[in-house]
């Protein structure tokens, strides 16, 4: 019993003394080191085409940073649902495209739509590809070989099996894959992108 009281007294005394003793605050000032900052205001507008006959599980969004830089954002939907509102898209996997890139993508989409009804035999076929990758995901493997780890990819093919368009967001296990199975879907996507760069 004496030992227990002694231990309790020691703990109580330590707590009491700790409350009375000034504790050191270890602070090393780094205020003289160069720090950088950046602030960005982004305004979004989800593009809806009233003339479109197709709906998508990804969104086309007109965006503007700091009232100066206009661009287009492509973003997959949450929970593979159709995109009707801005809250339906997953902006964590959004892909930004500058107007010049959007125009190039529109050309690829229009060429794909034009080749949709072309019939090919077993010896012929055609494909179009449009990829987007941030600079740090393009790895120069050798003087003549660069590997693109694309974060967005559109691929169109038409051969003896028939036409198909596909859209892929992300890479590795975090991928969103969509099929465009009608030429009207490709044309609607092209139209939405055209509307987006006019905003």
Which DSSP string corresponds to 117-146?
T----TT--EEEEEEE--GGGEEE-SSS-E
- Where is pLDDT greater, at 194 or 17? 194
- Considering the chain, what percentage of its residues have pLDDT values greater than 90? 60
Q: In this predicted model, what pLDDT tens digit does every residue of 87-107 receive, in sequence order? A: 999 998 899 999 999 999 999
Termini Cα distance of the chain? 82
Report d(CA 37, CA 14) in Å as an integer: 45
From 98, 87, 106, select the one nearest 62 (Cα to Cα).
Answer: 98
What are the extents of the domains in the chain? 42-198
Report d(CA 152, CA 175) in Å as an integer: 10
Mean pLDDT score of the chain, rounded to an integer?
A: 87
Give CA angle at 176 (170, 182), nearest 5°: 125
- Where is pLDDT greater, at 180 or 6? 180
DSSP 144-158: S-EEE--SEEEEEEE
- Where is pLDDT greater, at 22 or 140? 140
Q: Give start and end residues of each alpha helix (H) in the chain.
A: 2-20, 99-114, 183-198
Report d(CA 22, CA 53) in Å as an integer: 73
Average pLDDT over residues 22-26: 77
CA atoms within 13 A on the CB side of 62: 15
Specify which of 54-58, 76-80, 131-135 reaches the highest per-range mean pLDDT. Answer: 54-58
pLDDT of residue 15 exceeding 70: no
pLDDT value of position 147: 77
| Fold designation for 42-198 | Secreted effector protein pipB2 fold (3.30.2450)
Q: In this predicted model, what pLDDT tens digit does every residue of 187-198 receive, in sequence order? A: 999 999 999 998
Q: In this predicted model, what pLDDT tens digit does every residue of 35-48 receive, in sequence order? A: 888 899 999 999 99
């Amino acid at each position: 019993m004496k030992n227990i009281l002694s231990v309790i007294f020691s703990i109580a005394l330590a707590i009491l003394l700790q409350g009375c003793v000034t504790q050191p605050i270890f602070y090393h000032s780094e205020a003289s080191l160069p720090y950088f900052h950046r602030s960005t205001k982004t305004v979004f507008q989800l593009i809806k085409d009233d003339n479109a006959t197709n709906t998508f599980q990804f969104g086309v969004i007109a965006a503007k940073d700091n009232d100066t830089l206009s661009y287009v954002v492509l973003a997959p939907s949450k929970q593979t649902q159709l995109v009707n509102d801005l809250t339906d898209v997953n902006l964590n996997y959004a892909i930004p495209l500058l107007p010049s890139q959007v125009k190039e993508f529109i050309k690829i989409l229009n060429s794909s739509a034009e080749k949709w009804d072309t019939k090919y035999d077993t010896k012929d076929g055609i494909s179009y590809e449009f990829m987007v990758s941030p600079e740090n995901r393009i790895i120069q493997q050798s003087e003549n070989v660069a590997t693109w780890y694309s974060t967005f990819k559109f691929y169109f093919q038409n051969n003896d099996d028939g036409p198909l368009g596909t859209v892929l967001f992300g890479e590795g296990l975090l991928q969103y894959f969509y099929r465009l199975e009608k030429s009207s879907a490709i044309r609607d996507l092209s139209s939405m992108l055209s509307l987006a760069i006019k905003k």
